[in-house]
Amino acid sequence: GQSLEQPSEVTAVEGAIVQINCTYQTSGFYGLSWYQQHDGGAPTFLSYNALDGLEETGRFSSFLSRSDSYGYLLLQELQMKDSASYFCAVSGTGNQFYFGTGTSLTVIP
Amino acid sequence: EAQVTQNPRYLITVTGKKLTVTCSQNMNHEYMSWYRQDPGLGLRQIYYSMNVEVTDKGDVPEGYKVSRKEKRNFPLILESPSPNQTSLYFCASSLSTGGPYNEQFFGPGTRLTVL
């Protein structure tokens, strides 16, 4: 079957760096994506990793290790507006998408 | 503006009364999908469609139907809604499922309550 594990909650201080981990188990694998969702809003795409390594997009970076079935999202220079839920998701050869249960990030002053 | 639209945004209905939630995208995307989001369970895929007239079950298809008669539209049908289908529903679309084009664009969501 498919499963994705990520921490349920993380708290970090404004200006700091936070890492949200995701481990996955899936049959067939195209890549690992990350989405952000603010309360009451729709998920929005942040990043996608198909190959091992680090992808950087501004303050956000995402890492993938295919051999370890593991990835993480790194948020730098945290801002209050980064308080949101973050979901990892995998797409596989079955054309389905599977999402983790989400990590609620709270940024405190 | 590139977007995915859903209607209605909010719906309260009663058990057994058929309903349809519409979804439309203007990005010429091949792939469309429906998800339900419940507290603590994340997003779970209900149905997806690779192209017109091609639909497949996701993880939680029971009690739902879909159709893809046009590329831009992907309605979700609940023939006989039950209270356990009370949830927040999202429609999404993307160019594909693999490679760099699998970024999914989500609609604003439909909050459904079945009494």
| Mean pLDDT of each 10-residue bin along chain B, 115 residues long | 95 97 96 95 94 93 97 97 98 82 92 97
CB contact under 8 A, A87 and B42: yes
Residues of chain B with C-beta less than 8 angstroms from the C-beta of A102? 42
**For residue B99, is it left (φ>0), alpha (ψ between -120 and 50) or beta?**
left
Report d(CA A46, CA A69) in Å as an integer.
19
pLDDT at A94: 73
What distance lies between CA B85 and its chain's CA centroid?
Answer: 13
Which among A33, A48, A95 has CB closest to B48? Answer: A95
Q: Is the pLDDT of residue A1 over 70?
A: no
Residues of chain B with C-beta less than 8 angstroms from the C-beta of A97? 33, 45, 48, 97, 102, 104
pLDDT at B99: 65
pLDDT digits (tens, 9 = 90+) for A58-107: 999 999 999 999 999 999 999 999 999 999 999 876 788 899 999 999 99
pLDDT at A95: 82
